[in-house]
Amino acid sequence: MNIVILATGGTIAGVSGSAVDTTSYQSGIVPIDQMLQGVGPLEGIAAITSEQIAQVDSSDMNHDLWLLLARKVNGLLRQADVDGVVITHGTDTLEETAYFLNLVVKSEKPVVLVGAMRPATALSSDGPLNLYNAVVLAASPEARGKGVLVALNNAINSSRDVTKTNTVLQDTFKAPELGYLGYLIDNQPSFYRAPTRRHTAASGFDVADVGEFPQVDILYGHVDDNGNLARAAVRDGAKGLVYAGVGNGNMSEKMEKVLQELQTQGVVIVRSTRVSNGIVTRNGAINDDANRFVAADTLSPQKARILLMLALLETCDPLKIQKMFWEY
Ligand SMILES: NC(=O)C[C@H](N)C(=O)O
């Protein structure tokens, strides 16, 4: 088995002043070669090559790095001598990079994102075992065809459904409503379910020739929202807006009027929710047919933004985009 590790930074490569300091440290310091020295047992699992793609805190992840990663991963997975890819990443935006790649990687071969909650210098750092498990997963036949996976803390999650649920604890990556895909314990991945939505080899999205994405902004719903930020985003060039509404993607009459007005100017409006569980149903709380809005299904606002960015490369038709939100 040949596994390539692409390193982008994060806490897994972080350094703190003291071994018991697990929140004030600098992310993205330790190079991947050095990180691998701490994971000796990997030798028995796969032949590893690695490349440092970036060295950032994942709050500084950006679309240019996404495009670079997508091309890199697609190029590697086209090679017959590469069996899978592991990407080390900060945990703050790991779920976004993972879902983006889930939509644009064109291969059935495993792609696994991994990070850590404790810096590399901490007592009981979770990085080395997480990295080891990610390589085990990427080298396993069970991970093929499951889309881009997220593996931390012995749990395997689908990139579509996973989210960071706790700011500081190691047990943070979960798919609270749809559940883990499986566990990875003692070198053995055990899958209990598989993603049903289109991804990777079955995805229609292709970013091979994309230079930049249409601007899509997220707005957070709250009581007495007067729509000023929505208008400002569009003045700033937004072609799409994701509204993290209340409840079932709901909003006040005042906000609905603002978004209707922006929709008639050609801006695509997706209704997601600030609630962490549940589905935003079409024509549920709000009449999407009449407003020409799109319902985000179970995608979180940050994942809805990614799907909308990719969708807008192909169409501005809200009904076609709605279909994508039901398929991906
Ligand atoms: N645990 C982490 O990796 C958090 C860090 N701030 C990052 O996302 O890069």
Which of 160, 176, 202 is the last residue before a domain boundary? 202
pTM of the complete model: 0.98
Amino acid at 131: L
Residues 174 and 269 in one domain: no
312 vs 212: CA distance, rounded Å: 11
In angstroms, the CA 311 to CA 198 distance is 14
Domain boundary among 168, 202, 236: 202
Tell me, rounded to whole angstroms, the distance of Cα 265 from its chain centroid: 30
Mutational pocket test of ligand 1: of 16, 26, 35, 57, the residue with most ligand atoms within 8 Å of the beta carbon: 57
| Secondary structure of residue 164 in the 3-state scheme | strand
CB pairs under 8 A, 24+ apart, for 247-250? 247/273, 247/275, 247/285, 248/273, 248/278, 248/279, 248/280, 248/281, 248/284, 248/285, 249/273, 249/280, 249/284, 249/285, 249/286, 249/295, 249/296, 250/221, 250/285, 250/286
- How much is the pLDDT for 327? 98
Ligand 1 nearest-atom number relative to CA 14:
3
Per-residue pLDDT, 239:
98
Ligand 1 atom closest to Cα of residue 57 = 9
Binding site for substrate: residue ranges?
A: 58, 91-92
Say whether both 57 and 113 belong to one domain: yes
CATH number assigned to the domain comprising residue 250: 3.40.50.40
User: 31 C-alpha to center of ligand 1: Å?
Assistant: 15
Is there a domain that residue 264 lies in? yes
Q: Would you say residue 83 lies in a domain?
A: yes
Give me the domain span that covers residue 224: 216-327
Which residues, 6 or more positions from 240, have their beta carbon under 8 angstroms from its beta carbon? 214, 215, 216, 217, 267, 268, 269, 270, 305, 308, 309, 312
Of all protein residues, the one whose alpha carbon is nearest to atom 1 of ligand 1 is 117
Residue 209 lies in a domain: no
Do 252 and 194 share a domain, yes or no? no
Which residue CA neighbors atom 3 of ligand 1 most closely? Answer: 90
Whether 278 and 171 map to the same domain: the answer is no
- Both tokens of residue 139? 């080298």
Asked if 179 and 263 sit in the same domain, the reply is no
Output the CA 86–ligand 1 centroid distance in Å. 17
Distance CA 125, CA 171 (A): 13
Q: Quick one: which of 152, 176, 302 has its CA closest to 242? A: 302
Distance from Cα 139 to the centre of ligand 1, integer Å = 25
The answer to whether 57 and 27 have CB atoms below 8 angstroms apart is: yes
Last residue of a domain, one of 202, 231, 264: 202
Query: What CATH number is given to the structural domain containing 101?
Result: 3.40.50.1170
Residue 208 belongs to some domain of the structure: no
Q: What is the pLDDT along the chain (328 residues), one digit of tens a residue?
A: 999 999 999 999 999 999 999 999 999 999 999 999 989 899 899 999 999 999 999 999 999 999 999 999 999 999 999 999 999 999 999 999 999 999 999 999 999 999 999 999 999 999 999 999 999 999 999 999 999 999 999 999 999 999 999 999 999 999 998 999 999 999 999 999 999 999 999 999 999 999 999 999 999 999 999 999 999 999 999 999 999 999 999 999 999 999 999 999 999 999 999 999 999 999 999 999 999 999 999 999 999 999 999 999 999 999 999 999 999 9
Q: Are residues 252 and 313 in the same domain?
A: yes
Shared domain check, 259 and 193: no
- Identify whether residues 239 and 174 lie together within a single domain: no
CA–CA separation, 197 vs 147, rounded Å?
9
Q: Measured between alpha carbons, how far is residue 12 from residues 104, 120, 155, 251, 318 in Å? A: 25, 6, 17, 39, 40
Annotated binding site: 58, 91-92
Mark whether 194 and 240 lie in a shared domain: no
Identify whether 241 is part of a domain.
Answer: yes
Q: Is residue 106 part of a domain?
A: yes
Percent helix / strand / coil, the chain, rounded to 5: 35, 25, 45
Residues 11 and 150 in one domain: yes
Same domain, 145 and 192: yes
pLDDT at 38: 86
Q: Which structure tokens are listed for 141?
A: 């036949």
Say whether both 149 and 243 belong to one domain: no
DSSP structure class, residue 202: G
Number of domains present in the structure of the chain = 2
Is residue 211 included in any domain, yes or no? no
| Residue 97 falls inside a structural domain | yes
Ligand 1 atom nearest residue 56's Cα: 9
Q: Which residues are catalytic?
A: 11, 91
CA distances from 265 to 217, 240, 292, 304, 319 (A): 16, 11, 12, 21, 16
Give the span between the Cα atoms of 50 and 317, in whole angstroms. 42
CB distance 91 to ligand 1 below 6 Å: yes
**Is the C-beta atom of 27 inside 6 A of ligand 1?**
yes
Q: Is 90 in the pocket of ligand 1 (CB under 6 A)?
A: yes
What separation in Å is there between the alpha carbon of 32 and the centre of ligand 1? 16
Q: Please choose, from the candidates 153, 225, 221, the residue with its C-alpha nearest in 3D space to the C-alpha of residue 182.
A: 153
